[in-house]
Each structure stands twice: as structure tokens, then as C-alpha cells.
Structure 1
């Protein structure tokens, strides 16, 4: 298995949902929601990629770092590298049925585990989406993190308790899906949450609580006040609100506000191990990978996901060596030019 065979197989199975562009920047797929593109003009998707491209690394080779340590501990989990599989649901709708929901979630959860890290599972208007994720998590003895839409608060708690019963080490809510019309149309209303509602969810669940979709320091502070264990700096891959800044642009301000108080994760436009290192330098504890792992899953199943993560691992190790960075849990901002 190699990257070309994975991409070749994925391109056929996607049937146009993803063109496998040489640079995955959201230009060709702008406005394709449902699909793999960004909402509206696609600007938010493009800003994610552009913001990371504008971060440049200082090449340093006069130092003693020869075997950088990529291992980390996130939410009590020992991971081989600070890369987590992002939650993606609605495979039939967004990927032209390239895989079944069950096949996709199994590929992400089992592939991540084989590579020494953990994956997240999604939620959506059809129970099949959440249930397929739970099946994959149970199959891997609880090694997976279910992510729930910002449903009515009691429903969030109900699904979180299902995750805990399955042995999941944490659960999350992608609050950036607060305006998803397809959820409301299916009789499952979603919406923003107050600090009090977040606190209520935290106080009525037993495993760590992640809130995904934070793009401002004040929202991050609100999550901390509510007792949330981790946030994901995310604009939903550019698929929730057009014209938002890239996540790499806002991450330093959010990290300044809450890093050390809670775990700070980030996604958006991460396409290489060097991008992972940039996000760590900007203040993240770990990153989430979405589209790159979707290509791995569609093009190679479990082994494809493992291959992509190992590719990122090799790239991250090389980038750390060439910037003099010894450990992923101590990445100085000075490695950025």
C-alpha cells in the first residue's frame, strides 16, 4: 500500500464528491455542502489552509535533537502522536456513498487504534450515524470518542451516557453544528448552548466532556467556566459559517486564554506533519484530522487510515528534527518564523 494507490482508489469511490486535488484547499469543491466542500463561497475552508500556509518554520540543524519524542497524554490517554481522527458522519450524503456508515467508522476507529492513537465518531439526523459509531467503539473495547450534535440538552446527556456505558474514555459535542437545518427538519432540533447548559451536561455525565467548534477566546473561557474538559478550535471544516477566519489565525488567542486550564485541540486545513507541528507551536495540545483520514478510509479502509497516520508521524518527526524540537508537549513558538 502506498499513497498513490490509496488516492487512486479513493478518487474512483468518491465519484466526484472529492476530486483528490493536488492541494486540498477547498477551491474546486466550494459550496458543495452536502459534499466535501466548504459552505457558500468556501472561504472558511480556504482560510483554514491559507492560515497554516502563512505560518513558516525556522530550519535549525545545529542542535542535539536526533530522536524527537512524539508521544503524548491527552485526556488521560497515552497516544503515539498528537493526532486524533476527527468525527465525520453522513457518508452516504457527503461522500456519494463511497462506503457505508459502518465501514467508514470501523476504518477510522480501528485504523487509528492500529496507528497508536484514537478516533472520533459522528452523529446526524439518522440514528444509523451515531449507532454505527457506537458499534465501532464497542468493537474496539471502548477505544473511540463519540461526538454528538448540539441537540436538546437531555438528549446530549442520554447519548453521552451511552458512550460511557460502551467504555468510551470521553465524549464530545460539535457545537458548531448549531444551525444544521437537516437536523431540525428531521425533528431533532439543534442550537447554541448557554454556560448553564454546558455546566448541566458536565454535571450529569461521568466521562470527560469535549466541546468542538470554539473560535473565540470568550467562548473558550465560557467552556472553562462550565467545567468542560477540552475544546476543539474548529469552524467545522468551513462547513458551518462562511467567511470565518482560519483556525490557525485564532488558535494563539484562544490558547493564551485557556491553555493549562483545559485541553486545547484544533482542526482545519491540516495536511502534513509539518502542519501538525505548526498547530502545536501556536498553542494546541493535539490536532484532529478529517479530510486526510477520509481519503485513507475510502481508499484503503483500516489499513489506509493507519497508513495516513503513520505518514503524518514520519513527517512530524522530520519537522521536529529540522526545527530542533525535542518533544511534542513542549513546542516553542520560536520555531515559527
Structure 2
């Protein structure tokens, strides 16, 4: 298996829903929602890519770091690398039937486990999206994290308890889907949450609670006040609100507000192991990987997902050696130029 074979296969199966461009930067697919594009002008998607591109690394080779340690511990989970498979729900509904929902979630969850990390599963307007994720997690002995849309709080609690019963070590809510029209049109309204609602969810669920879609320090502090265990700095891959900044732009400010109080994750425009290291230097504990793993799953199944994750792992290791970074517990911001 190689990356070109994965990409050729994925391109054929997507049938235009994703063009599998040589450079995945949101330019050609702008406005293609459903699909893989960014909302509206696609600016938010492009800003994710641009913000990371503007971060530069200091090349350092006079040091003793020869075998960097890529292992990390996130929410009590020991991972071989600081990269988690992001939740992309509705692959069959939104991507020209490129893959059945059950097949896709199984590829993400199993492929992440093969590579020594963990994957997330999604939620959507039809029950099969969430249920397929739970089934995949159950088949891997609970090794996966379901992410729930920002539904009514009691419904979130109900689904989170189902996740716990399936053995999941944590659950998430992608609060950045608060204006998702297809959920409301399907009779399942979504919306923002107050601190009190976040606290209610946290206090009525038995496993760690992750809130994805945080882009400002005050929202991060609100999550901390509510008792949330982790946040994901995310603009929903540029698919929630047009013209937001890139996640790498806001991450340092969010991390400064809550680092050490809670786990800080980030997604958005990460296309290499070098990008992973940049995000860690900007304040993240680990990253979520979305579109590259979706392409890997559609083009190569679980083995494709594991292949791409191992590629990122090798790139991250090389970047750590060439910046003198020994481990991931505290990546110094000084590696950035």
C-alpha cells in the first residue's frame, strides 16, 4: 500500500464529492457543502491551511535528541502518537455514497487502533450515523470516542450513557454544529449551550466530556467553569461559519487561558507530522485529523487509515529530531521561528 494508490482509489469512490487534490487547501471545493468543502466562500477552510503555513520551524541539529518519544497520555489514554482520528459523520449521506456508514466508522476506529491511537465517530440526522459509530467502537472493545451533535441536553446525556455502556472512554459534543440546518430540518434541533447546560451534561454523564468547536479564550474558560474535561479548538473544518480565523491563529490564546486546567486539542488544516509539531508548540496536547483520514478510509479502509497515521508518525519523529524536541510533554514554543 502507498499513498498514491490510496488517493486514486478514494478519488474514484468519492465521484466528485472530494477531488483528492494534490494539495488539500479548500480552494477548488469552496462552498461545496455537502461535500468536503468549506462553507460559503471557503475562507475559514483556507485560513486553517494558511495559519499553519505561516508558522515556521527553527532547524536545530546540535543536540542529543536522536530517538524522540512520541507517546502521550490524553484523558487517561496511552497513545503512540498525539494524533486522534476526528469524527466525520454522514459519509454515506454527504459524500455520494462513497462508503457505507458502518464500513467507514469501522475503518476509522480499527485503523486508528492499529496505529496505536484512537478514533472518534460522528452523529447525524438519521440514527444510523451514531449507531454505526457505537457498533464500531463495541467491536474494538470500547476503543473509540463518539461525538454527539449539540442536541437537547437530555438527549445528549442519553446518548453519552449509551457510549459509556459500549465501553467508550470518553464522549464529545461538536458545539460548532449549533446551526446545522439538516439536523433541525430532520426534527432534531441543535443549538448553542450555556455554562449551566454544559455543567448539567457533565454532571449527568459517567465518562470524560469533550467539547469541540472552541475558538475563543472566553468560551474555553466557560467550558472549564462547567467542568468539561477537554476542548477541541476547531472551526468545524471551515464548515460552520465563513470567515473565521484559522485554528492555529487562535490556539495560543485559548491555550494560555486554560492550559494545565484541562486537555487542549485542536484540528484544522493539519496535513503532515510537521503540522502536528507546530500545533503542539502553539499549545495543543494533541491534534485531531479529519479530511486526510477520511480520504485514507475511503481509499484504503482500516489499513489505509493506519498507513496515513504511521506516515504522520514518521514525519513527526523527523521534525522532532530536526528541532531538538525530545518528547511531547512540553513542546517549547521556541522551536517556532
Same fold (TM over 0.5): yes
Task: Return the offset for 1:93.
Answer: 2.7
> 1: CA distance between counterparts of 2:196 and 2:108?
33
Q: Secondary structure at the match of 1:23?
A: coil
* 2:327 matches 1:319: no
TM alignment of 1:266-285, pairs within 5 A: 266-285=266-285
What are the superposed Cα offsets for residues 185-236 of structure 1, whole Å, 9 maximum, x if unpaired? Answer: 1000000000000000000001000000000000000000000000000000
Moved over 6 A (4+): none
Which residue of structure 2 lines up, in the alignment, with residue 238 of structure 1? 238
> 1: CA distance between counterparts of 2:7 and 2:60?
33
* Contact residue 35 and residue 93 of structure 1 kept, 8 A: no
TM alignment of 1:9-88, pairs within 5 A: 9-88=9-88
> 2: CA distance between counterparts of 1:67 and 1:196?
46
What are the superposed Cα offsets for residues 82-141 of structure 1, whole Å, 9 maximum, x if unpaired? Answer: 000000011123221110000000000000000000000000000000000000000001
> 1: CA distance between counterparts of 2:4 and 2:178?
37
Task: Return the offset for 1:13.
Answer: 0.6
> 2: CA distance between counterparts of 1:94 and 1:117?
26
> 2: CA distance between counterparts of 1:19 and 1:53?
22
Q: Secondary structure at the match of 2:213?
A: strand
Task: Return the offset for 1:328.
Answer: 1.4
Q: Secondary structure at the match of 2:200?
A: helix
When the two structures are superposed, what TM-score results if normalisation uses the length of structure 1? 1.00
Which residue of structure 2 lines up, in the alignment, with residue 296 of structure 1? 296
Which residue of structure 2 lines up, in the alignment, with residue 8 of structure 1? 8
Task: Return the offset for 1:21.
Answer: 1.1
Q: Secondary structure at the match of 1:78?
A: strand
Task: Return the offset for 1:153.
Answer: 0.3
What are the superposed Cα offsets for residues 261-303 of structure 1, whole Å, 9 maximum, x if unpaired? Answer: 0000000000000000000000000000000001110110000
Task: Return the offset for 1:12.
Answer: 0.6
Which residue of structure 1 lines up, in the alignment, with residue 262 of structure 2? 262
When the two structures are superposed, what TM-score results if normalisation uses the length of structure 2? 1.00
* Contact residue 273 and residue 313 of structure 1 kept, 8 A: yes
Which residue of structure 2 lines up, in the alignment, with residue 188 of structure 1? 188
Task: Return the offset for 1:333.
Answer: 0.2
Aligned length: 337
> 1: CA distance between counterparts of 2:154 and 2:112?
30
> 2: CA distance between counterparts of 1:25 and 1:319?
22
Which residue of structure 2 lines up, in the alignment, with residue 178 of structure 1? 178
Which residue of structure 2 lines up, in the alignment, with residue 115 of structure 1? 115
> 1: CA distance between counterparts of 2:206 and 2:23?
41
TM alignment of 1:215-254, pairs within 5 A: 215-254=215-254
Which residue of structure 1 lines up, in the alignment, with residue 143 of structure 2? 143
Q: Which runs of 5+ in 1 are unaligned?
A: none
TM alignment of 1:92-107, pairs within 5 A: 92-107=92-107
* Contact residue 72 and residue 81 of structure 1 kept, 8 A: yes
Q: Secondary structure at the match of 2:232?
A: strand
* Contact residue 235 and residue 244 of structure 1 kept, 8 A: yes
Give me the CA root mean square deviation: 0.4
